[in-house]
């Protein structure tokens, strides 16, 4: 691998192996100040077409390269992610808001995903071999994939789509969120001399670009991570050309805590599973059901942590939680908190706007919450945790499942057999026991109900980037070949 001397001074599109500007650029806001600090290029429809043409031209050679060679190039890309993490993490923090240590971790997690996914084997399968002949199942790349990523964990989600699409032999056109496009655009700088031109293309823009991408006739699949509302629009847009799609959408994840837990032990784990990245994680705990005996002790323990956590600009090394990423999300969370104050629930700790400039809200513990309140029924996607008491476990399971979402869930208990029994009753794509959150390269992740369609990661996720191809050979031809 050649030594790279990157230049991250100006964010540019990465199209056909080259960096490109656009006739117009848009502001990128620092959520710690609420002020613009840099601009990003706003792609034209012609630039999207240019990226798709480049991806189509690169497809045959990349497809034919094979898993081993593609994996080697992707792992070289992972090495670049690790090398440049200190520089790009600073940029990620400024555009996204998360503490600098968490930004560095995001690059490391991304590199680990690449390393893990490129070690997975997608083998052909012998379906039958008998007197009729032989039938085998193969998996072929779809073609040019379009990917759309959100603003909460931009690098992990961009890199996960890059590695899955490219490792399976597709080429890619990636669109990051316009709220946090800069670090993702600079992945093109890292990739510039690694992949053949056109294999990876990264272009920035707003709603129009997303619409052009999802409706483009030469895009074979869309991989989208984001809100339910936008996911439904993506699904409709894919219908005209029968595009394949994977949708990883929102969640209103429930955690069920039984009364046999060690409250002081689990409280920090639950707090960070709810408030990490200021609650801006699709699979974070969003509703906490606690059995009556453990309820008040856990309320008090979580409130104590919330009162002590350091909230501030991500660039400050002492900050443990940063701001909300954008003004729209900030105002949405404030609206939910205003409704909560009027609802009769106890805002036990936090919830106030902090005096700093920017989009800061103190982490809020909401006790005595009930279904029917916005704070329970809607996904706040912010630093707010409603806590609901229960007596009967079957009632808690029913309430946890009574939602249109179905991304993640968790059960907390010192009795693993009991916890597994409850976990099997929960309607979610993933249920954790005595933990919550986290993805692995070899374990599929996705949602049910309105939390998504399809899965990412593992062999199951990789096959979502491929088309099944059955080959049948008659018995007499097999005999003749021998």
Query: Which residues are tagged catalytic?
Result: 248, 282
Residues 6+ apart with CB under 8 A from 210: 148, 175, 230, 234
Distance of CA 43 to the CA centre of its chain: 23
CB atoms < 10 A from the CB of 474, how many?
Answer: 11
Q: Is 302 helix (H, G, I), strand (E, B) or coil?
A: helix
CA distance 184 to 39: 13
Any bridge partners for residue 412, and if so which? 257
Which helix (H) or strand (E) segment holds residue 138: the answer is strand 133-141
CA distances from 375 to 45, 223, 344, 412 (A): 40, 29, 12, 22
How far is it, in rounded angstroms, from Cα 198 to Cα 49?
A: 12
Q: Which two tokens stand for residue 379?
A: 């996904």
Q: Give the contacts of 109 (CB within 8 A, at least 6 positions apart).
A: 156
- Tell me the three state secondary structure of residue 120: coil
DSSP assignment of 416-471 equals: HHHHHHHHTT--SSEEEES-----BTTB-B--SGGGEES-BSHHHHHHTTEEEEEE
CB 477 within 8 A of CB 435: no
The number of residues in the chain equals 482
| CB 13 within 8 Å of CB 185 | yes
Evaluated on CA atoms 321, 326, 331, 333, the torsion sign reads negative
- Start-end of H helices in 17-65: 45-65
> Tokens 């906490």 belong to which residue?
288
Structural contact between residues 180 and 95, judged by C-beta atoms closer than 8 angstroms? yes
At 175 the three-state DSSP class reads strand
Helical (H) or strand (E) element with 270: helix 263-275
């Amino acid at each position: 691998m050649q030594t790279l001397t990157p230049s991250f001074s100006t964010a540019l599109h990465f199209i056909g192996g080259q960096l490109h500007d656009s006739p117009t650029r848009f502001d990128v806001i620092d959520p710690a100040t609420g002020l613009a600090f840099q601009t990003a290029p706003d792609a034209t429809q012609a630039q999207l077409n240019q990226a798709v043409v480049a991806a189509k031209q690169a497809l045959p050679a990349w497809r034919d390269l094979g898993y081993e060679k593609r994996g080697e190039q992707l792992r070289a890309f992972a090495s670049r992610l690790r090398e440049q993490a200190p520089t790009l993490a600073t940029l990620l923090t400024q555009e996204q808001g998360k503490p600098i240590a968490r930004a560095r971790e995001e690059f490391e997690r991304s590199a680990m995903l690449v390393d893990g996914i490129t070690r997975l084997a997608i083998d052909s399968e012998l379906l039958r071999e008998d007197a009729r002949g032989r039938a085998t199942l193969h998996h072929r790349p779809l073609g040019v994939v379009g990917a759309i990523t959100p603003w909460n964990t931009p690098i992990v989600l961009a890199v996960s789509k890059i590695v899955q699409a490219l490792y399976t032999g597709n080429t890619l056109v990636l669109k990051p969120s316009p709220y946090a496009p800069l670090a993702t655009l600079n992945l093109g700088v890292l990739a510039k001399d690694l992949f053949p031109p056109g294999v990876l293309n990264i272009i920035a823009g707003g709603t129009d670009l997303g619409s052009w991408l999802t409706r483009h006739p030469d895009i074979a699949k869309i991989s989208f991570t984001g809100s339910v509302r936008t996911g439904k629009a993506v699904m409709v847009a894919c219908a005209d050309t029968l595009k394949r799609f994977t949708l990883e959408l929102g969640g209103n994840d429930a955690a069920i805590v039984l009364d046999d837990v060690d409250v002081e032990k689990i409280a920090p784990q639950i707090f960070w599973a709810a408030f990490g990245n200021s609650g801006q994680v699709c699979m974070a705990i969003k509703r906490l059901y606690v059995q009556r005996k453990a309820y008040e002790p856990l309320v008090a323990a979580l409130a104590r942590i919330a009162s002590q956590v350091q909230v501030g600009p991500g660039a400050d090394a002492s900050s443990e939680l940063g701001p909300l990423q954008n003004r729209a999300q900030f105002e949405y969370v404030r609206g939910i908190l205003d409704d909560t104050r009027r609802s009769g629930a106890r805002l036990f700790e936090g919830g106030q706007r902090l005096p700093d400039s920017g989009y800061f809200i103190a982490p809020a513990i909401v006790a005595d919450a009930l279904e029917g309140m916005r704070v329970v029924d809607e996904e706040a996607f912010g630093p707010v945790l409603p806590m609901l008491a229960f007596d009967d476990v079957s009632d808690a399971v029913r309430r946890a499942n009574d939602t249109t979402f179905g991304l993640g869930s968790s059960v907390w208990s010192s009795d693993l057999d009991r916890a597994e029994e409850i976990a099997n009753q929960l309607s979610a794509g993933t249920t954790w026991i005595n933990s919550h959150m986290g993805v692995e390269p070899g374990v599929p992740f996705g949602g049910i109900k309105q939390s998504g369609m399809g899965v990412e990661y593992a062999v199951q996720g990789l096959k979502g980037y491929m088309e099944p191809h059955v080959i049948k050979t008659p018995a007499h031809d097999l005999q003749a070949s021998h």
